[in-house]
Amino acid sequence: MTDLQSSSTLQLLHELKRRYVELDTPPGRYVFVGAPGSGKGTQSCLFSKSHSLCHLSTGDILRQTAMQSDDIGLKVKKQMQEGKLVDDDIVLKLLNEKMNEPSCMRGFILDGFPRNAHQAEKLHNYLEKSGKKLDGVMYFGAPDELLVKRIEGRRVHPTSGRVYHTEFNPPKVEGKDDVTGEPLIQRSDDNAVTLFERLKCYHKETTPLIDYYSNLGLLSHIDASKSVDKVQKEINTVIAKKEQNGHPEPLVNGNSG
């Protein structure tokens, strides 16, 4: 929020509430990594709220970009539709802009980034340059058969990013967002053909990161096949332990103000 005068009272109150919650929650920088449908987005959303951290989903950022009718938008749309990774230079530029926003200064959850060795190296360099480190990497493990079921039943509210599932997490009214009552949609890449490509791409490009972060002592295995509540508890337990051990470096820009 850069222009106080043009912000509505409601926006200001939300911002105030967010900063108030921040006072009681430790900062942190986390990566949530896992296959499509493993629940990264669902848990990032819950964790970012409970810990007042910025939730950066490269998938959401790219979906917004794909709505543009310029060359970049069209390219991103095509690559996502094919289940491929979007070019690193596009992803890095977009993410960099978001990471430098004031609300991300005290910490963030990276949901869906990094996704290959090059992106992991770029993230490492970016943090190192500003004297920061990752606090942990949560690896969401679940069998492919379950992922397919989760993806097939997923419904989203595009404006807010709220995620539902027809069976596992149904909205109060079928096909409608709980908060706004607006229609839910099925993501255009949530079809059998694209999902097959996304899973293939995940196993080839992203799985090697598990060893990379494990060797750095940052990786925690999360059993993502459990219910949303159980997965949330497991993550909270792992991160509470990390927080007890202290933040690895003094907080630079400890708040967003």
The footprint of ligand AP5 (CB under 6 A) covers 34, 36-42, 58-59, 62, 79-80, 83-86, 91, 112-113, 115, 119, 150-151, 153-154, 163-165, 168-169, 198, 226-228, 231
> By C-alpha distance, which of 102, 101, 28, 21 is closest to 61?
101
Task: Beginning with the edge strand found earlier in the chain, give each strand of the sheet holding 136-141 in spatial order.
Answer: 54-57, 107-111, 28-34, 136-141, 219-223
Q: Are 162 and 245 in contact (CB under 8 A)?
A: no
| Catalytic residue status for 155 | no
Q: In the bound complex, what is the minimum distance in angstroms from residue 11's beta carbon to ligand AP5?
A: 26
Question: Active-site residue among 40, 77, 106, 122?
Answer: 40
Q: How far is the CB of 24 from ligand AP5 (least distance, A)?
A: 26
What radius of gyration do the chain's Cα atoms show? 18
Identity of the residue, 103 or 169, whose beta carbon is nearer to ligand AP5 in the bound complex: 169
Active site includes 17? Answer: no
Helices (runs of H) and strands (runs of E) counted in the chain: 10, 7
Residue 115 annotated as catalytic = yes
Are the C-beta atoms of residues 133 and 245 closer than 8 Å to each other? no
Cβ distance to ligand AP5 smaller for residue 3 or 71 = 71
Catalytic residue among 106, 154, 155, 162: 154
Is residue 40 part of the annotated active site? The answer reads yes
Catalytic pick among 149, 187, 226, 242 = 187
Is position 226 annotated as part of the catalytic site? no
Whether a cis peptide bond, with omega within 30° of 0, leads into 158 is: no
What minimum distance in Å lies between the beta carbon of 4 and ligand AP5?
A: 33
8 A C-beta contact, residue 59 and residue 111: yes
Q: How far is the CB of 131 from ligand AP5 (least distance, A)?
A: 24
Active site residue ranges: 40, 115, 154, 187, 198
